[in-house]
Amino acid sequence: MEDRWSRSELDLHLDIDAARGLRAGLEQALRDAVRRGRLAPGTSLPSSRVLARDLGVARGTVTQAYDQLVAEGYLIAAPRSGIKVAVRPSAPPAEPATLARSYRPPVQGVDLRPGQPDLAMFPRREWLAATRHVMQTAPNSVFGYGDQTGRIELREALAGYVGRACGVVAAPDQIIVCAGYTHAFRLVCQALLLRGATAVAVEDPSLPDYAAIARHTGLQVDAIPVDGAGLIVDRLGSQGGVAVTPAHQFPLGVTMSPARRADLLKWAHQAKALVIEDDYDGEFRYDRQPVGALQGLAPEQVVYVGTASKTIAPGLRMAWLVAPPALMRPLAEVTKMDETYVSVVDQLVFARLIETGELDRHLRRCRAHYRRRRDRLDAAVARDLPSAHLSGIAAGLQAVLHLAGGAEPDLLAHLDRHGVAVDGLAQYYHNPDGIPPGLVIGYSTPPEHAYATALSTLIPALRSWLDQP
C-alpha cells in the first residue's frame, strides 16, 4: 500500500494500491474516500493537471480515473466548476449499538425514570469556591501525567470519608479513582480474569449494565435471584465473584439481612471468590439506621465501589473502588493500559469538599429533600391507589410500585399516552416471565418545581388504569 498526498488547496490523502495499477488504484482510493465520507458531497477535487503533478503520475491516469468515477456516479463534472463529489442516496441508518448504559434523552412530559438525582441540587456555590481554592493553591505539577489510581489528596480524603460514613476499612493505597461505576466494575472484571476466574454472578433483578460489562470482558454471567432478604446465597456456585447491592438492592430496594450477609461472606471465603459491593446510594436512608458496608465485615473478600453519581451528579463521572490488597496487583496490570481518567481538577475539588465538610452538609440537605419527596409519593399512593403499594422506600432515590393485574407493557404504554415516563420492573430481570407488573419510580429525577406536577400527572394516570374494567 502506497500513501500519496495531494498538495493542492484540498488536503487530500489517498491510499493508492499500486498492485492494482496506478489508474485502478487511484479509482479505488477515491471511491473509498467518497464511500467512507472522507470526501463529502459537493467537495471540489483538484484539476487533473494539479492532482497528476502532486501524485507524480501521468495526467491521463487521473483523467481516466475521474471519467470512470463520473460514470459510476461518485463524481460529477460541472461546466466551469471542475470535478465535484456527487450527492449520493444515503444508506438506511444502522441499528444503534446496545451499550451497557446508553444515554437516555430527555422526555416530553413527566420524567420519573430512576437513576438520576435532582440535578438542580448540584452544589454550584460550594463547587465554585472549592475550584477557586484549588486553582489558587495547586502547584503546576498537578497538571502533568499523574498516578493512574487517582490523586493522593482525593484517595486520602476518600479513605477517611468511607470509613466514617460507610464503615469501610480502607487505606489510600487500596483506593482507585474511576470514571463512574461502569469503569470501576470493568476494571474489577478484568482483574478477576487475571486471577483465573471464568464466571461472575449478578443479582436478578439488577441493572443490565453488570451483565453487559462482565460479558464484554469475557466472563460468563450467572443470574442469582433476590428475595426479601437479598441475594439467595445458596444459588451461588464456583463463580470468581458476585456483584451485589446489599444496602439498598436495585431495583427492589430490599436490604440484605444479617444472616444472608454472613452466608455470602462465608461463600466468598470458601470459594476464594470476591464480593463486589455497589454502594450506589448508601448515603440516603430515611426510616432506619445506616447499614454499614459489607466490606467492613470482610475487607479481604469484598471490593467496595462508591460513586458521586447520586450524591452530586452523574455528569462528574467519578467513582472509587476499595480493593483487597490481594487484588491490587491484577488491578495494577489492567490499569497500565487503561486511558480512562477523571479530571485532576475535579478530583482535587471533590477532595476539598470532603475535607471542609461541604460534602456532609450537601448530603444532609439532599437527604431531607428526598425524604420529603418520598413521603409525598407514599401519601399519594396510600390515599388514591388503595389497591397498590410501594416497597423499597426506607432508603435510596427510587421506589417500586406494585399493582395487581394487567400486563406491564400495556401499563407503560398507558402512562406514555398520559405523558409519564417510568421504568417497568420486568426490564431488570434476566428472565421476566411471570413477573407481576410493577413500576420503578425515580422520585428524585424531576426538579423541585416540577415534582408536584409529576405526582398530579402520575397518580390520576395510574388510577384510570386501575379503574379499567
What is the Cα–Cα distance from 230 to 253, expressed in whole angstroms? 9
211-246 burial code (b ≥16 CB/10 A, e <16)? bebbeebebebbbbebeebbbebeebeebbbbbbbb
| Range 110-119+361-466: architecture per CATH | Alpha-Beta Complex (3.90)
Nearest alpha carbon to residue 350 among 163, 208, 179, 210: 179
Q: For the chain, which residues make up each domain, given as ranges?
A: 2-85, 110-119+361-466, 122-358
User: What is residue 29's predicted lDDT score, i.e. its pLDDT?
Assistant: 83
CB 268 within 8 A of CB 275: yes
- Structure confidence at residue 94 as a pLDDT band (50, 70, 90): very low
CB 28 within 8 A of CB 22: no
pLDDT (average), residues 255-276: 96
User: For the domain with range 122-358, which CATH number is right: 3.30.70.3270, 3.40.50.2300, 3.90.950.10, 3.40.640.10?
Assistant: 3.40.640.10
Which residues partner with 306 through β-bridges?
320
Measured at the CA of 175, the angle between CA 172 and CA 181, to 5 degrees, comes to 150
| pLDDT tens digits, one per residue of 337-347 | 888 889 999 99
| pLDDT tens digits, one per residue of 53-85 | 888 888 888 888 888 888 888 888 877 778 888
- Structure confidence at residue 158 as a pLDDT band (50, 70, 90): very high
Which CATH number describes the domain made up of 2-85? 1.10.10.10
What is the Cα–Cα distance from 335 to 177, expressed in whole angstroms? 11
**Three cell numbers, residue 177:** 479513582
pLDDT (average), residues 192-198: 95
Where residue 20 falls (left for φ over 0; alpha for ψ -120 to 50; beta otherwise) is alpha
| pLDDT tens digits, one per residue of 125-156 | 999 999 999 999 999 999 998 889 999 999 99
| pLDDT tens digits, one per residue of 306-353 | 999 999 999 999 999 999 999 999 999 999 888 888 999 999 999 999
- Structure confidence at residue 17 as a pLDDT band (50, 70, 90): low
User: What is residue 37's predicted lDDT score, i.e. its pLDDT?
Assistant: 79
